[in-house]
Amino acid sequence: MKVHVRLLVFSAILLVTTQLNTAIADINPMKLGATYNADRSAINFSVYSANAERIDLYLYNNSYGADDVSNFSLHQSGNGVWEAVVPVADLKAKGITGTVFYGYRAWGPNWPYVENWTKGSTAGFKSDVDANGNRFNPNKLLYDPYSLEISHDPLNPNNSDAGQFASGASNRAVDSGSVAPKGIVLQPVTGNIGVKPLRAQKDDIIYEVNVRGLTKQDPGIPEAYRGTYKGASLKASYLSSLGITAIELLPVQESQNQANNVIPNSNAGQNYWGYATEAYFAPDRYYAFDQSPGGPTAEFQNMVKSFHDAGIKVYIDVVYNHTGEGGNWQRSNGSTDSATASLLSWRGLDNQTYYELTADKQYYYDNTGTGGNYNTYQPVAQNLIVDSLSHWANTLGIDGFRFDLASVLGNSCLNGAYQATAPNCPFGGYNFNAADPNVAINRILRELTIRPAAGGNGVDLFAEPWAIGGNSYQVGGFPVGWSEWNGDFRDTMRRAQNKLGMDSVPLGRLTSVWAGSSGHFQWNRQPWNSTNFIDVHDGLTLKDVYSCNGANNSQAWPWGPSDGGTSNNLSWDQGSNPSDQLRAARTGMGFILLSAGTPLIQGGDEFLRTIQCNNNAYNLDSPGNWLNYELSGDQVNFQNFTRRAIAFRKAHPVLSPATWGDENVISWWQPNGASVSGNYWVDSSNHSIAYTLNGRASGDKNALYIAYNGWSQNVNFVLPKPPTGKQWYRVSDTCNWNNGPDTWANPGNEQLLGSAGYQYGLCGQALLVLISK
């Protein structure tokens, strides 16, 4: 891979004092955005539009509720770039002496510029959208797609009227200037992000959590810091003590969430998860204690440094498949209105460039269920993806990225190629094609430095390998350099535990996902490219997987109501038996931490967090959805179980293989002590199996024996011969009898069992973990 040093140039200068451990290609070669020159005597404003006929810059002293104080026309500098250089002296002469807030107004073929246009008029108007898909409207102030921070969300406690930002007959003449979000011109960013961990991904344990939910009701965090980046930074020591090596934050790029608490004790209009990005370079100010200009960026960097100082990587969940502008609006009768759409930024600057349009250019192709695909195949639209990723990795210190609905980034269809007969677009406007060098997932590989398998400089990439429709389900289909969330691991393990007698889970399938999902990944990648999880934010929590007979999303606040959510939860309440629920949860956590691959647990799973069977709590910025640290005895015991299981995984690298093993590393056993034969694999009545791991190749002197009884009744397991001179000791048995603080034994406290031929009775639906000593 060709490696470049990626340093962000702010009009010939960027004062970067952060320690950069990741080498990445040149950020933003088109020099888009608003940046001070070297001596800070002028600001260069630069924005892209291939189809605009005129773009004006509007400058503001205040971010909200005030008129502009000055405006300038931009000139075209080539390649679709529009720019203006504004001397700071001119700004001061206009009364702008503090923070510079700015936005753009754009004219184009569907709304040409005329001299008599004034804000709030329709002078020059031809159509809301023309035959080529242009949606220019100068009455809508547009924030810069390259803004490093934006001033506020469109909807906020002061404004609940989304129509002010919309096109269409009812709204096209409404001027949004005073209420629209503005870009903020920041001084060069100079924060310290600490020393990035160089750990190999195979040795990571990932903890997925929402920034706000992590500390919002944590009594150990000062109240003013709860729910903020500052508060999250104070959890670094806790996560380190748990054994977590990478925290994965739900979206932290600016999104619509300032209106979350407009109506107290209500989920009305709430966006808790954050999957509606408004600004790809900007840390979400809703999560900042210091919300003054520059505050969110500095606070975010400080948070990253706190995690880095604890040896913890910081991953963020990014959403490049769609934007916060959404798609076409719906009419009152439920039909889609081609003329009406929100114009906040990209759409008003260059609809054709930034979005994938349908054949008639009036609507949006949609693989996301959120209104419209981002045009991930378009080179300039791709620039924004790579430039922003580079900014987060270099300037803000991020160690890796999880890509929401990442199959959309593998779309090889260009705008205009929508016929079902088109050779490259068999699914209309969508076709996942990892072999195409021009799709976004391959460009990201070329332009970002990917962390080597053995560890070192670079970023880790994780795909959510599915979307909606066509050939978008692509578990195992991403190219080398990508890891993937393994939905097959989740579904197989849930079926094995919760659907006995209902769904068939052949032992061959169970053991395959247990050992790294070779059926998906062995052809082009390694076991650690499988991100193994039982649950994530998008669905039931770990406790609820084993305590709920499906979803219950219709509850009152703070547990609901929430719409949507899958109907195929593969969950079961274990006959409403609390002891059985605890046993099942221990077994599930054991599966995650004893499987080959990169384990991922959802925040709060370590102490059996519940959201009362809600499986789509995206809209609940509520105490029911925040982590609750007031723990019962059973929760403390489970937290202890999880901490010790993580430590055990770290102590035995054979559980985290770098490459695919062979018969000298792993051996499979029937409960009767015989090696597994072909007949045993295929007999659907078999539900119990064990394996031994010989860790000598990884430097582990001890062998491991791990058994799973997937049957409902007790099964006797006859132990195989341990290594010469050693005997088998019990580390953990997840059965009901072993519920308590020591379900997972500390090193040195394991119980001696015996040697070859020892018979161990294991209860139904439980895991047994032994070590040779």
Helical axes 507-514 vs 487-498, angle rounded to 10°: 130
Task: Report the 10 Å Cβ neighbour count for 686.
Answer: 17
- Identify the sign of the CA torsion 204, 205, 206, 212: negative
CA–CA distance, 53 with 252 (Å, rounded to integer): 34
Which of 144, 149, 464, 538 is flagged as catalytic?
Answer: 464
Our answer to whether residue 733 is catalytic in this structure is no
CA–CA distance, 242 with 311 (Å, rounded to integer): 13
Q: Is 581 helix (H, G, I), strand (E, B) or coil?
A: helix
Residues 6+ positions from 503 with CB-CB distance below 8 Å = 495, 570
Residue 722, preceding peptide bond in cis (omega within 30° of 0): no
- Residue in the block written with tokens 């997932």: 441
Backbone angles phi, psi at 141, to 5 degrees: -75, 130
Q: How far apart are the first and last CA of the chain?
A: 44
Q: Is 219 helix (H, G, I), strand (E, B) or coil?
A: coil
337's tokens: 């209105």
Q: Which amino acid makes up residue 766?
A: A
Are the C-beta atoms of 245 and 204 separated by less than 8 Å? yes
Which of 56, 325, 399, 404 is flagged as catalytic?
Answer: 404
Residues 6+ positions from 280 with CB-CB distance below 8 Å = 145, 253, 318, 320, 384, 385, 388
Helical axes 633-651 vs 578-594, angle rounded to 10°: 20
Our answer to whether residue 83 is catalytic in this structure is no
Residue 109, preceding peptide bond in cis (omega within 30° of 0): no
Residue 659 exposure: Cα atoms within 13 Å on the Cβ side: 4
DSSP string, 616-640: --TT--STTTS------HHHHHHHH
Of 190, 191, 189, 195, give the one whose Cα is nearest residue 21: 195
Catalytic residue numbers read 404, 464
